[in-house]
Amino acid sequence: MEQTVDKLESMFLKSEADLEYIERRLKLDFINGASARGSFAKENVAGILENLKSIKAKHSLLRCQVSQITDAQKGSMELIRNRLSTAMELIKHCQQASHLEVESLAESEQESAMFLDSTITSITAEL
C-alpha cells in the first residue's frame, strides 16, 4: 500500500510539471501569435488557459489529499508498531511471571516478524 501511495505521489508530481509546461507553452503561443490570429483564436486560447487554471486547482487539491493519506498511513503504521511492541512485551512479562517456557516461533510467525521489522525499518527511514 505504501508503494502505491508513493507511486501516486510521484505521478502527481509529474502531472503537475506537465501542467506547468502546458500553461507556459500556451502563454508563449498566445503572446507570439496574438497579432497573427483573429479574436476567435484569442478567446479560444484564453478559455483554454482558464480551464487549465481550474485543472491545476483540482490537481493541487488531489495532491494535498494524497499527502494527507500518506501522513495518515505513516501514523497508522507507527501506532500498529507501538501496540504490537507493547503486546509482545506484555506476553513476555506474563510468560516470565507464570514461569512458562517460551516456545520458539513457527516459520510463518518468523516470516511475519521479519516482514514487520523490515516494514518498520523502511517507515522509520522515510520519517
Q: Which three cell numbers stand for residue 80?
A: 500498529
∠ CA 51-57-34, nearest 5°, is 35
Specify the pLDDT at position 105.
64
- How many domains does the chain fold into? 1
The span from the CA of 110 to the CA of 94, in Å, is 21
Tell me the average pLDDT of the chain: 76
Predicted confidence (pLDDT) at residue 127 exceeds the cutoff of 50: no
Q: Residue 85 belongs to what domain range?
A: 2-126
Q: At what angle do helices 39-97 and 2-33 cross, to 10 degrees?
A: 160
| Predicted confidence (pLDDT) at residue 126 exceeds the cutoff of 70 | no
Backbone angles phi, psi at 3, to 5 degrees: -65, -35
* Percentage of the residues of the chain whose pLDDT score is greater than 70: 71
Give the count of beta carbons closer than 10 Å to the beta carbon of residue 77: 20
- Note the pLDDT tens digit of each residue in 54-71: 888 888 888 888 888 888
pLDDT tens digit sequence for 87-121: 888 888 888 888 776 566 667 777 777 776 665 55
CB 116 within 8 A of CB 81: yes
